[in-house]
Structure 1
Amino acid sequence: MARSIDQQIATAQAKLARLKERQKASETRRKIIVGSVVISNALKEPEKARALAVLLRRVVTREVDQKELVGLMAELDEAAGKASGADRS
């Protein structure tokens, strides 16, 4: 029995939704991997730690996101040799 056009559209839309979910999951995994590599390397090299801290302070503007990064910012400051928290640009 042939499927109606509406059934074919519904099937195509469901497939598109699944593909979009896979794409989003893939993008999220990529961000996690890159973030992990960047953070891990920054914590090992003071200049990179300093640069990442400056970048994050400049671009992370939402209060909820800033709160999430408090611990990381402290680690970056320490790795950059600014454990006292001074020179927060």
Structure 2
Amino acid sequence: MARSIDQQIAETQAKLARLKERQKASETRRKIIVGSVVISNALREPEKARALAALLRRAVTREVDQKELAGLIEELDQAAEKAGRS
């Protein structure tokens, strides 16, 4: 039995929704990977730690996000200070 136009539309919309989910998941994975690389690198290189901490302080404006990043910023500050003590 042939599918009705409405059934075809519903199937196409469902397929589009699945593709959008996959796209969003891919974007999220990329952000996680890039963030991990940037943080790891910054924690090893004091100048980059200083720059990343400054960027986060300047760019992260939502209070809930600032609270989430407070520990990381402190860790970056400590990594940046190691250069001054060496």
Both structures adopt the same fold (TM-score exceeding 0.5): yes
Equivalent residues in 2 for 1:8-87, closer than 5 Å? 8-81=8-81
Shift of 1:35: 0.2
Letter aligned with residue 69 of structure 1: L
Q: Which has the higher helix share?
A: 2
Structure 1 gap segments, 5+ residues each: 83-89
Task: Flag as ranges the 4+ runs of structure 1 deviating above 2 A.
Answer: none
Q: Which residue of 2 aligns with 1:87?
A: none
How many percent identity over aligned positions?
88
**Partner Cα distance (1:70, 1:16) in 2:** 38
Equivalences, count: 82
